A and B are shown apart, each in its own frame.
Chain A
Amino acid sequence: MNQPTVALLGLRKSFGPVRAVDGVSFEVYPGEIFGLLGPNGAGKTTTIRMLLDIFRPDAGEVRVFGGRLDDLKKHRIGYLPEERGLYMDLKLEPTLVYFATLKGLDEKEARRRLTDWLKRFDLYDHRHKKVQDLSKGMQQKAQIIATLVHQPDLIIVDEPFSGLDPVNTRLVKDVIEEQRAAGRTIIMSTHQMYQVEALCNRIVLIDHGRSVLYGEVGQIKRDFAAHALLVQGQGDFSRLPGVLEARHENGAWRLALAAGVDPQAVFRALAARDDLKVERFELAEPSLDDIFVTVVQGGARAEAAAAAREARHA
């Protein structure tokens, strides 16, 4: 692989007594879409903010484009935060021109590029409207344009599909794919796991400030293959020992198993139950959704158990 565009090494950040990020490390390479995943409050946004030099880490190192982030390197980054940020009282075009010039483009070039983007995102006829008069989806598209107009080498998008209808979701997906094909580095944070599966090469899953899962999506799914079952039959399969989550889909039950639970043990448990009749039992390739639930809920249960043990010993 090439030199990583982004390398985070053992990042730590505390806010008072709260440790928001605790030793997060990962690398992201040119030409890949990297998924930054985790439940709410896991430390994703703090990690991104340290990556962007908005916060300084207490420990660890951030390397962007091979070194520390400076003003020139900032021009090579496009950031779409989850909290959308546009000047509501300004007209669309001047707002986008302003953001583009802050990224190093001259005004003329910014306008030229914006014309193409606005047309592609079907916003050209709305360019003289105030941002507050645009729909939520339009504002989202405008924000994506602001992220990409200066042709950044590193693109960080947080919930890029939020507020978009299926047609525009497809459009944004195509744009992200194009950027990857052009050799750019993309870090995507989203809770839409099917989008991660469709787009991302590799992921990191952060929970309670720590990296709990890191690697290629395919490999992770293979590693977790024993953690998901597909069961068809009669009865309620939602309450079984060792099963974290049970979803009824297309006439079958998809069971996400807790870490360390043997599928054979589940099979034996099913066989011992008179109220359940099994017609089909197979190992399922887990979805990222299943893996997310397994890791996060499993982690939460392990922590709760550890806390209970500590309380008993105290």
Chain B
Amino acid sequence: MRNIWLVARNEYARMARRRSFILATLGVPLLILGVMGVSILVSIRSDRPDPRPIGFVDLAAAYPTLAPRQAYAGDNDVTVRVFAADEAARAALAAGEIQAYYIIPQDYETSHRVQARYWKTAPSSRVDALFRRFLRASLVQDQPEDVQMQLLRGVTFDARMVKGGRPVEGGNEAEFVFALVLSMFFVFVVMASGGYLLRAVSTEKENRTVEVMFTSVSPLQLIAGKALGLMAVALTQIGVWVVTLLVAAGVVSRFVDFLRDFVVPWNLAGVMLLYFLPTYALVAGMMILIGSVFTDMQQSQQIAGVINMVFMVPIFFLMLVFTSPNSPLMVALTLIPTTAFLTVALRWAVTAIPAWQLIVGWLGVVATAMFSLWVAARVFRIGMLQYGQNLDLRRLVGIVTGRGAVAPRGPHA
């Protein structure tokens, strides 16, 4: 265990000191903070509550007369002043007594269109929404208070399969977006860790350090130490990003209505963690294999790029994820080990994935990961001592099947 820890610590320290890592780790939070700042600024500028009332002129007498009272919005102070005629409202607007006014025209019964009048700045979307509530409130003002509340609040759907399963709430865009971002972060960690691991294995081979390492640690300890250290690197990275994202979401939600009801999707985080380990093990096995087989980093990275594409296939079907999350293709991608993680992450936000798909998909990833690590461990010992030449397919199969191990071709025998 000590050796695994030492290798892991060394890998972590080496990678965490790289300029590219520091830039990426701090760059994303800076980007998030930048977006947060802009969001707040825009929100403050556009939604700064104008304390002045809004005017209301009902030329069609379409709505029951409302006493000029605080509009039904709950958390703002904008009041509505009722004017009998357009001219009076216009005069009040010109005098700056009101920020804008709305006219129900005489042909409202046929046109169903309300006109808004303003001086320089059009009423914000928030003021528009406020006025709509005011109209609805005027229609239900004779109802008991609880009925009024119910009518004004509307309905939130809780879609759930008859056979049971996780409810998918409708209408919370913030949670959807956050779930998507969180999923992408997890997927990024897996791919990034795999990339780091490939680099570490290739570097070990290029630097010829592996022969010295093998006299101190076993190949398995070396693989395990590197995989754990680099997973910690990626988790550090995502940790910094997620914490920044959560803090930013918390701060921005005070200013932006869109995020007001934001709740962290812990259940998604749990499922992601469950998939994370076997998927990482699968990627790690593949990267160790590539790093052992090829002689230099450039070749290894080219092959790893193709492998990464296989993992990213669900991205190409992003539209289908949103429009038909339960289509046979999506189910198939959920069950294929290389695409399961990303597909589950994307589908989670839009549908309730049946439990059997999650279980079968997860077991598939676990089984493939174990196979991948087994193959990698067999090839690692000989492949890493293969200086100057790639292992060809015949030799690779020979090592994996154990039917005639092959000589490491290098300057020595």
A interface residues with partner B (beta carbon < 8 Å): 15-18, 20, 40-46, 49, 52, 54-55, 71, 74-75, 77, 79, 81-90, 98-99, 101-103, 146
Q: Does B16 contact A (CB under 8 A)?
A: no
What is the chain B residue whose CB lies nearest that of A102? B216
**Which chain A positions have C-beta within 8 A of B214?**
52, 54
**Stretch of B273-281, B294-302, B403-411 at the chain-chain interface:** B403-411
Measured between alpha carbons, how far is A146 from B207 in the docked complex, in Å?
Answer: 15
Interchain nearest-CB distance for B288 vs A (Å): 17
A15 CB contact (under 8 Å) in B14, B207, B405, B412: B405
Contacting pair A101 B407 (CB below 8 A): no
Q: Does B413 contact A (CB under 8 A)?
A: yes
Q: Does B398 contact A (CB under 8 A)?
A: yes
Interchain nearest-CB distance for A55 vs B (Å): 8
5 nearest A-B residue pairs (beta carbon): A15-B407, A45-B412, A85-B209, A102-B216, A85-B208
Q: Tell me the interface secondary structure of chain A in the complex.
A: loop
**Which chain A positions have C-beta within 8 A of B3?**
71, 102
**Which chain B positions have C-beta within 8 A of A75?**
216
B212 CB contact (under 8 Å) in A18, A46, A85: A85
Interchain nearest-CB distance for B195 vs A (Å): 16
**Which chain B positions have C-beta within 8 A of A45?**
412-413
Measured between alpha carbons, how far is A99 from B3 in the docked complex, in Å?
Answer: 11
Q: Does B253 contact A (CB under 8 A)?
A: no
Contacting pair A41 B207 (CB below 8 A): no
Contacting pair B405 A40 (CB below 8 A): no
Contacting pair B212 A81 (CB below 8 A): yes
B381 CB contact (under 8 Å) in A40, A54, A74, A99: A54
What is the chain B residue whose CB lies nearest that of A101? B6
**Which chain A positions have C-beta within 8 A of B408?**
15
Asked if A52 meets B209 with Cβ closer than 8 Å, knowing A41-B412, A46-B413, A98-B6, the reply is no
Contacting pair A77 B215 (CB below 8 A): yes
Q: Does B211 contact A (CB under 8 A)?
A: yes
Measured between alpha carbons, how far is A45 from B385 in the docked complex, in Å?
Answer: 11
What is the chain B residue whose CB lies nearest that of A103? B216
Asked if A18 meets B407 with Cβ closer than 8 Å, knowing A77-B215, A83-B208, A85-B212, the reply is yes
Measured between alpha carbons, how far is A86 from B209 in the docked complex, in Å?
Answer: 6
In B383-400, the 8 Å CB interface with A consists of 385, 387, 398
Measured between alpha carbons, how far is A79 from B208 in the docked complex, in Å?
Answer: 13
Asked if A88 meets B405 with Cβ closer than 8 Å, knowing A83-B411, A99-B216, the reply is no
Asked if A81 meets B211 with Cβ closer than 8 Å, knowing A16-B398, A43-B413, the reply is yes
Contacting pair A83 B387 (CB below 8 A): yes
Kindly list 9 other residue pairs between chains A and B, CB separation below 8 angstroms, not including A82-B412, A99-B212, A102-B213.
A40-B411, A41-B413, A79-B212, A85-B208, A86-B209, A89-B14, A90-B14, A102-B6, A102-B216
Measured between alpha carbons, how far is A299 from B407 in the docked complex, in Å?
Answer: 23
Interchain nearest-CB distance for A193 vs B (Å): 18
Contacting pair A74 B405 (CB below 8 A): no
Interchain nearest-CB distance for B242 vs A (Å): 29
Contacting pair A15 B406 (CB below 8 A): yes
Measured between alpha carbons, how far is A146 from B208 in the docked complex, in Å?
Answer: 14
Asked if A42 meets B413 with Cβ closer than 8 Å, knowing A54-B385, A90-B14, the reply is yes
A85 CB contact (under 8 Å) in B210, B405, B410: B210
Contacting pair B215 A54 (CB below 8 A): yes
Interchain nearest-CB distance for A54 vs B (Å): 5
> Contact mask B185-217 → A, CB, 8 Å, 1/0?
000000000000000000100011111111111
19 contacts between A and B (CB under 8 A): A15-B406, A16-B404, A16-B405, A17-B404, A20-B407, A40-B411, A40-B413, A41-B412, A44-B412, A44-B413, A52-B215, A54-B211, A54-B215, A79-B215, A81-B211, A83-B208, A87-B207, A89-B14, A98-B6
**Which chain A positions have C-beta within 8 A of B218?**
71
Measured between alpha carbons, how far is A216 from B408 in the docked complex, in Å?
Answer: 32
Contacting pair A146 B6 (CB below 8 A): no
**Which chain A positions have C-beta within 8 A of B14?**
87, 89-90
Contacting pair B405 A146 (CB below 8 A): no
Q: Does B172 contact A (CB under 8 A)?
A: no
Interchain nearest-CB distance for B152 vs A (Å): 64
Q: Does B10 contact A (CB under 8 A)?
A: yes
Measured between alpha carbons, how far is A245 from B410 in the docked complex, in Å?
Answer: 29
Contacting pair B215 A86 (CB below 8 A): no
Contacting pair B212 A88 (CB below 8 A): no
**Which chain B positions have C-beta within 8 A of A41?**
412-413
B208 CB contact (under 8 Å) in A40, A84, A99, A103: A84
